[in-house]
Amino acid sequence: MRILTRYILREVLSHGLLGGVLFTFVLFMKELGPLLELAVRNSTSTSTVTEIFLLMLPNMCTVTIPMAVLVGTLLGLSRLAADSEITAMRASGVGVWRFVGIVGVVAAVAWGIGLVNTLYLAPKASAQMLKLEDELKNTQATYEIQPRVFYEDLKNVVLYVEDVRAGTGAARWRQVFLADLTDPVSPKVTTAEEATVASTDNQTLVMRLRNGMQHQTASDQPDQYNVSTFAQTDLPLEATSAPEPHLGHSDAPVLAMSNHELIERTQQQGGRWYQIELQRRYAYPSACLVLILVGVPLGISSKRGGKGAGFVLTIVLVFVYYFLSSTGVALARQNKLPVFAGVWMANLLFGISGIFFLRQMSTGGAALAAVTSVGSWFRWKKSSPSAGTVAPSERTVSKRHVRGSFPLILDEYVIRQFLSVLALVLTAFVMLMLVFTFFELLGDIIRNQTPFIIVGEYLFNLMPSMIYITTPLSVLIAVLVVFGGLNRTNELTAMKATGVSLYRIIVPILVIASVLSLSLFLFDEVYLPAANRKQEALHNVIKGRPAQTYLRPDRKWMFGLQQPGKPGRIFYYEFFDSDNDRFANITVFEFDPTTFSLSRRIFAAGAHWDPQIHRWIFEHGWERSFQGDSVTDFKTFEVDTFPEIIELPQYFKKETRPSQEMSFNELQQYIRDLRQSGLDTMRLRVQLNRKLAYPLITLVMSVLAIPFALSMGKRGSLAGIGIAIGMAIAYMFVDGMFEAMGNVNMLPAFLAAWSPDVLFGLAGSYLLLRTPT
211 falls within a domain: yes
Query: Which range among 134-143, 744-753, 760-769 has the greatest average pLDDT?
Result: 760-769
From the list 331, 435, 326, 309, the residue with the least C-alpha distance to 378 is 309
| Contact (CB, 8 A) for 157 and 265 | no
> Residue 199: its pLDDT value, please?
65
> Residue 632: its pLDDT value, please?
87
Mean pLDDT along residues 726-745: 78
Question: Residue 630: exposed, middle, or buried by beta-carbon count in 10 A (0-12, 13-18, 19+)?
Answer: exposed
From the list 110, 37, 98, the residue with the least C-alpha distance to 68 is 110
Q: Between residues 651 and 347, which one has the greater pLDDT?
A: 347
Same domain, 306 and 350: yes
pLDDT at 144 over 70: no
From the list 558, 591, 566, 572, the residue with the least C-alpha distance to 677 is 558
Please write the tens of the pLDDT for every residue from 660-670.
Answer: 888 888 888 88
Confidence grade of residue 385 (pLDDT, cut at 50, 70, 90): very low
> Residue 641: its pLDDT value, please?
92
672 falls within a domain: no
376 falls within a domain: no
> Residue 518: its pLDDT value, please?
94
Confidence grade of residue 181 (pLDDT, cut at 50, 70, 90): confident
Among residues 631, 648, 665, the one where a domain terminates is: 648
Q: Between residues 193 and 593, which one has the greater pLDDT?
A: 193
pLDDT at 381 over 60: no
Question: Residue 165: exposed, middle, or buried by beta-carbon count in 10 A (0-12, 13-18, 19+)?
Answer: exposed
Same domain, 435 and 533: yes
DSSP state of 293: H
Same domain, 15 and 95: yes
> Residue 430: its pLDDT value, please?
86
352 falls within a domain: yes
Which residues span the domain enclosing 218?
145-238
Can you tell me the distance from the alpha carbon of 275 to that of 332, in angstroms, rounded to the nearest whole number? Answer: 10
Mean pLDDT along residues 525-544: 85
201 falls within a domain: yes
760 falls within a domain: yes
Same domain, 433 and 302: no
Among residues 621, 648, 675, the one where a domain terminates is: 648
Same domain, 457 and 586: no
pLDDT at 499 over 70: yes
Same domain, 58 and 118: yes
Please write the tens of the pLDDT for every residue from 449-465.
Answer: 888 888 888 889 999 99
Same domain, 132 and 156: no
Q: Which CA distances in Å does 228 have to 175, 393, 628?
A: 17, 90, 9
Same domain, 690 and 713: yes
Mean pLDDT along residues 654-665: 76
Same domain, 153 and 63: no
Same domain, 270 and 132: yes
384 falls within a domain: no
Confidence grade of residue 394 (pLDDT, cut at 50, 70, 90): very low
- Does this model's pTM top 0.85? My answer is no
- Portion of the chain with pLDDT greater than 90, in percent: 11
Mean pLDDT along residues 413-428: 87
Confidence grade of residue 589 (pLDDT, cut at 50, 70, 90): very high
Residues 6 or more apart whose CB falls under 8 angstroms from that of 396 comprise none
Mean pLDDT rounded to a whole number for the chain: 78
CATH of the domain at 580: 2.60.450.10
pLDDT at 751 over 80: yes
Please write the tens of the pLDDT for every residue from 222-262.
Answer: 778 888 888 888 888 776 544 443 444 445 577 888 888 88
β-bridge pairing 171-180 and 630-641: unpaired
676 falls within a domain: no
> Residue 714: its pLDDT value, please?
56
Calculated CA dihedral for residues 757, 758, 763, 767, nearest 10 degrees:
90
Residues 6 or more apart whose CB falls under 8 angstroms from that of 121 comprise 58
pLDDT at 168 over 60: no
Mean pLDDT along residues 729-755: 81
> Residue 384: its pLDDT value, please?
41
Among residues 305, 340, 368, the one where a domain terminates is: 368
Domain count, the chain: 4
Please write the tens of the pLDDT for every residue from 470-484.
Answer: 898 889 888 888 887
Same domain, 16 and 111: yes
> Residue 134: its pLDDT value, please?
64
Query: Which range among 142-156, 180-194, 537-551 has the greatest average pLDDT?
Result: 180-194
Please write the tens of the pLDDT for every residue from 32-46.
Answer: 666 666 666 555 556
Mean pLDDT along residues 327-347: 86
Q: Between residues 41 and 710, which one has the greater pLDDT?
A: 710
> Residue 647: its pLDDT value, please?
87
> Residue 140: its pLDDT value, please?
44
Please write the tens of the pLDDT for every residue from 606-622.
Answer: 999 998 889 999 999 99
pLDDT at 79 over 90: no
> Residue 234: its pLDDT value, please?
86
Same domain, 6 and 62: yes
> Residue 523: its pLDDT value, please?
92
